[in-house]
Amino acid sequence: MHVHILGVGGSFMGGLAVLARELGHEVTGSDSKVYPPMSTQLAQCGIELFEGYSPGNLDDTPDLVVIGNALSRGNPEVEAVLDRNIPYTSGAQWLAEHVLAHRWVLAVAGTHGKTTTASLLAWILESAGLAPGFLIGGVPQNFGVSARLGSTAFFVVEADEYDTAFFDKRSKFVHYRPRTAVLNNLEYDHADIFPDLEAIKLQFHHLIRTVPGTGLLVVNGADPNLQDTLSRGCWTPVERFDDSSGWNAQLLESDGSRFRVRYAETEVGEASWSLIGTHNVLNAQAAIAAARHAGVPPQVALGALFGFRSARRRLEVRGSVAGVTVYDDFAHHPTAIAATVGALRAHIGSRRLIAVLEARSNTMRLGVHRDQLAAALDAADRVLLYQGPDVKWDLQLVATEINRRQPSAGGTPRGTVRARVFRSVEEIVANLADETCPDDHVLIMSNGSFDNIHQRLLDQLRQAKT
């Protein structure tokens, strides 16, 4: 079968392309802009990619077109699919029908931490010899690909609450029918899709309704929005993490690189790993609990943590030049930004932390979280904000508030200009190349390619500092 995927450059749709290829299908795809790591993955899998959307991409008529949720009516290739009466479906529905049917699905949902937790869960199952399949919204470094079929009944899927397609406005995760479901957290996001938090809670409750009574819900016990969602009806056993009566952890290192895990009052064991941040300790608790439901003893799961390497773009070190270390992170919501900046601060101590933020997500571009951004960046010594052309509100409002605040890190004297707004990546790179010093840590946060800023900065630093 010839399967053609619209939006193939996205992390979810690119993973579908890999799975379809593994199933033996001829796979092609279209997208307007594809960048690493997904472009690299597609090339390695031999998937033909059409740059841009055009009716001509469908001249070798596919048997089925899988349409990503970023595509809408008016797109020339979507219109050609409809006009030519080519069979089409959504990515989530294709996954459910062709991959997940009759498998033990372990779904990881939540506003934050889905990619890391799903990657970790897949790695724990792999380390226990369970050879799971997976589809993750990033590239786990332990596996080198974002998706694979696996060779057993177990399948780990990153369960996104974003809508399914232009013709199916339900959240993608309602298609997955998990036996094990992780609910990491629940906050307001995706303002282009959901009018308010209540709308997101409703979708999460739809997910809860699909988990069988013989399944398991692994739920963040400290999240009031999740507790409210569960109170609307729950027909499945629940295990809570970040909860003294359930799974919990004690930090043995302040940066979260070593910790002790308990279940209620019973000590399970200690873990040491390369990740940092208390948010990742929560992700670990969730993954250990979910893996236990699949039959992996918690002690085995803890042992797997030592060899775990997080997904690409999650506090990933992109390089170090002349003592300046450059990180890439996917954070794009104030909660995730605060967690990432705080984790790096705990790890590097008093060394200078320079945060660079692209307000790229739909919610960010709409300015929904503008009032929370300044506080989320408190732990940074310097903040560089990128005012992209699609951002319709003035980021100087955030910069002014940052400059007014006393940073919680306490490393910058009051009155210092900590934050500035830039309107081009070239200006940001030039500024950083000029002002950075040995032992500085530059944290770049965006949910897009950010115009390859990481590599451009490293190249500029080599020219300026060496």
Euclidean distance between CA atoms 33 and 31, whole angstroms: 6
Q: Are residues 363 and 429 in the same domain?
A: yes
Q: Are residues 86 and 114 in the same domain?
A: no
Domain boundary among 305, 327, 342: 305
Q: Are residues 177 and 275 in the same domain?
A: yes
- Is 193 a domain residue? yes
- pLDDT of amino acid 413: 55
> Residue 33 is part of a domain; what is its CATH number?
3.40.50.720
Q: Are residues 112 and 38 in the same domain?
A: no
- pLDDT of amino acid 420: 92
Q: Are residues 62 and 161 in the same domain?
A: no
DSSP state of 311: B
- Is 204 a domain residue? yes
Q: Are residues 141 and 162 in the same domain?
A: yes
Q: Are residues 192 and 118 in the same domain?
A: yes
Residue 28: phi and psi, rounded to 5, are -130, 170
> Residue 393 is part of a domain; what is its CATH number?
3.90.190.20
**Rg of the chain taking only CA atoms, in angstroms:** 22
- pLDDT of amino acid 296: 98
- pLDDT of amino acid 369: 78
- pLDDT of amino acid 333: 83
Euclidean distance between CA atoms 48 and 315, whole angstroms: 31
- pLDDT of amino acid 77: 98
Q: Are residues 236 and 359 in the same domain?
A: no
Domain boundary among 270, 305, 340: 305
pTM, rounded to two decimals = 0.85
Residue 182: phi and psi, rounded to 5, are -100, 130
Q: Are residues 164 and 232 in the same domain?
A: yes
* pLDDT under 70: residue ranges of the chain: 406-416, 465-466
Q: Are residues 33 and 126 in the same domain?
A: no
- pLDDT of amino acid 408: 56
- pLDDT of amino acid 194: 85
Euclidean distance between CA atoms 240 and 264, whole angstroms: 10
How far does the chain reach from its first CA to its final CA, in angstroms?
A: 54
- Domains: count for the chain: 3
Burial profile 138-154: b = 16 or more Cβ within 10 angstroms, e = fewer: bbbbbbebbbbbbeeeb
Euclidean distance between CA atoms 80 and 59, whole angstroms: 10
Q: Are residues 334 and 288 in the same domain?
A: no
What residue numbers bound the domain in which 329 lies? 316-465
- Is 310 a domain residue? no
* Ordered DSSP codes for 327-371: EEE---SHHHHHHHHHHHHHHHTTS-EEEEEE--SHHHHTTTTHH
Q: Are residues 154 and 274 in the same domain?
A: yes
- pLDDT of amino acid 285: 97
- pLDDT of amino acid 452: 85
Per-residue model confidence as pLDDT tens digits over 241-275: 999 999 999 999 998 999 999 998 899 999 999 98
Domain boundary among 57, 91, 125: 91
Residues counted in the chain: 466
What is the identity of the amino acid at 353? L
- pLDDT of amino acid 189: 81
- Is 97 a domain residue? no
> Residue 268 is part of a domain; what is its CATH number?
3.40.1190.10
Strand partners, 357: 385, 445
Helix%, strand%, coil% for the chain, nearest 5: 35, 25, 40
